[in-house]
Amino acid sequence: MLYLANRLVQGLIVILAALTLAFLMMFVIGDPAMMYVGADASAEVLEAYRVALGFDRPLIVQYFDFVRNAVQFDFGVSYRHRVDVVPIIGERLLRSAELALPAMVLAALVSIPVGVISAVHRNSWIDYVARFTALIGQAAPNFWVGIMAILFFSSYLGILPSSGRADPGSPIWVQARYILMPMIILSLMPMAYLTRMMRSTVLEVINEDYVRTARAKGLSERKVIYVHALRNALIPYITLYALQFGWILAGSMVIESVFAWPGFGRLLMDSIRMLDIPVVAAGLTTVAALYIGLNLLADMLYTLLDPRVVNR
């Protein structure tokens, strides 16, 4: 319990840091009032806006105001879209989930069996192919893989749409065609990492006493691997799996930009490039909150799955 409280306090500090960073950004890039009215506004208009928006107050007052509003999920108005930031973020997060969730499911569906087979048949050709593919998957830059895939599947073969998202009203298979390519490419990096992870964990577990005992009992090899070895190997796997969602955040910034997918990642990327600070502030805080939540979840899963681990 104390441990949990400790982690929560740490998490709050990270979120406060994200807010502070965002607040500072607002002033580093120049006069925030000018961001609202435009660079060609007259001095009087600018001053009027500055007072109206509260940018004329002492910085420290503005800072506490900013934090207080943020805590109440009010990050102000986007410089670019001229609408409240928080609803946009929420909507975009749902769009991102359409890619990210199937991508993570796919990563698990591939990495668990491939990792196990690779470990059980160590140094066989299956193992070599799997390891080599995973290594390439980790090394190839994701934006480039995306471009090459568009080139091959959309331009050359012409079987998949190159970018964008289908109309929400269109039938499910049409939507799936748009999701397929970015989803698979988004899953490659976690898939490669998790496969390598799974393989090395199974290799470790296979040498444990309880696996030898299971064999000695005369259990079938299949039962030894899939019941005794795999279940133990899954403990570290699941925690790392939870942490991979954090990677997916960074990955979706890149992949959504390449595939023009209207999700949270692309929103954040565009807002950073356009210096749309209210959106960046809200985005940064969202990322921090998600990351902390996932870390906490990973820790709790670990204790839940492995009773030997006691969090203090």
Partner 1 sequence: MTTTSASSQQPNANERKDTQIIAAKRSIWKDTLRSLFRSKAAFGSAIFLLLLFIVALTAQWIAPHDPQAMDITNRMLWPVWSDAASNPAYLLGTDSLGRDILSRLIHASQMTLTVAVSAVIASGLVGIFMGLISGFFGSWMDSVIMRLADLQLAFPSLLIGLIVMSLIGSGVVELVFVIALTQWAYYARIVRSEVIKVRETEYVQASKALGAGNARLIFKHVLPNALASMLVVASFTLAIAIYYEASLSFFGLGIPPAIPTWGNMIAAARDVMLRNWWFALFPGLAITFTVLAFNLLGDWVRDHFDVKAE
Point out which residues bind partner 1 (CB under 8 A): 10, 13-14, 17-18, 21, 25, 28-29, 135-136, 138-141, 143-145, 147-148, 150-151, 155-156, 246-247, 249-250, 253-254, 257, 268-269, 272-273, 275, 280, 284, 287-288, 291-292
Amino acid residing at 311: N
User: Which lies closer to partner 1 via its Cβ, residue 115 or residue 214?
Assistant: 115
User: Which lies closer to partner 1 via its Cβ, residue 219 or residue 250?
Assistant: 250
CB of 72 to partner 1, least distance (A): 23
CB of 189 to partner 1, least distance (A): 11
At 186, list the tokens: 């988004």
CB of 147 to partner 1, least distance (A): 5
CA distance 101 to 264: 13
CB of 217 to partner 1, least distance (A): 33
CB of 113 to partner 1, least distance (A): 23
CA distance 144 to 152: 12
CA distance 289 to 15: 7
User: Which lies closer to partner 1 via its Cβ, residue 152 or residue 210?
Assistant: 152
CB of 109 to partner 1, least distance (A): 24
User: Which lies closer to partner 1 via its Cβ, residue 110 or residue 254?
Assistant: 254
User: Which lies closer to partner 1 via its Cβ, residue 205 or residue 225?
Assistant: 205
User: Which lies closer to partner 1 via its Cβ, residue 2 or residue 9?
Assistant: 9
User: Which lies closer to partner 1 via its Cβ, residue 156 or residue 173?
Assistant: 156
CB of 255 to partner 1, least distance (A): 11
